[in-house]
Amino acid sequence: MPVRVGGACYIGRLVDWFGDDGKDGLMAQMSRRLPRNDTDREQTFSMNAVRTVTSVATSIEKMTVNSGN
């Protein structure tokens, strides 16, 4: 996911190993690094967050099976 800090845009990753919300929210870890920079170290942050549903959608459509072409 893109993470913008100041004028820089990083490649970010959010990992949740625990799955359950606690009294302080959901424990997770976020890491970020600059794109095209394999020598730069990845920065890691621990965080607590609250999950929020932002939208729900449903649809019914005909499914097309890929024939391999």
Domains of the chain by residue range: 2-49
Given strand 2-5, what is the order of strands in its sheet? 2-5, 8-15, 26-33, 43-49
Asked whether residue 28 carries a pLDDT value surpassing 70, the answer given is yes
Compare 59 and 52 and report the one with higher pLDDT: 59
Give the pTM: 0.51
Give the pLDDT confidence score for residue 67 in this predicted structure: 65
